[in-house]
Amino acid sequence: MPYDGPAAPPPPPPPAHVVNVVQIAGKVKATVPMWRRTSTWVAVYSIVLALIAFWPQPVDAGAGRFLRWLFDTVPLLTYERLEFGSNIVLFAPFGIGLALLMRELRYLIMPLALLSSLTIESVQAVLIAERTPSVLDIVANVSGACFGLVVVVSAEALRARTR
């Protein structure tokens, strides 16, 4: 066997945040664990949610002209329906993120959504004069979290079924 020179140095160790190192198509790839990626995403989402929920003025304060055009264009769409749907969309990531993070504690997601929504509406009622709390907002928020939870559970069931 011919001598090819000194042996190649070993590869450097992966960064501290990397847990798994896998080989895909002959290339070494470091992977970050799912919980770490998800927890970062949930933290960013929580900050955005808090900013939206506790902003001193309604978040649609500058959108009056656009909203009038939208409601004139789509007669079945009312401000109340748009607000209800927006709250569902706003809380769907809550259900998705917690369902991915709290796999064994998913039964707590709906109570956490209710508690979060009650807290938001209570703070708006007591501390933010420009904001209007609503029981319908609580219903929509919890519905959005439920939708997110159902999306994750359905995707996992479908994935398990196709394996």
pLDDT tens digits for range 44-67:
999 999 999 999 888 888 888 999
Where do the structural domains in the chain lie, given as residue ranges?
50-162
Residues whose CB falls within 8 Å of the CB of residue 4, separated by 6 or more in sequence, listed in order: none
Give pTM, 2 decimals.
Answer: 0.76
The token pair at 29 is 């790839």
Query: Residue 33's pLDDT is what?
Result: 67
- For the chain, the average pLDDT equals 86
Query: Residue 61's pLDDT is what?
Result: 83
Question: Which residues on neighbouring strands pair with residue 20, listed in sequence order?
Answer: 31
More confident site: 116 or 16: 116
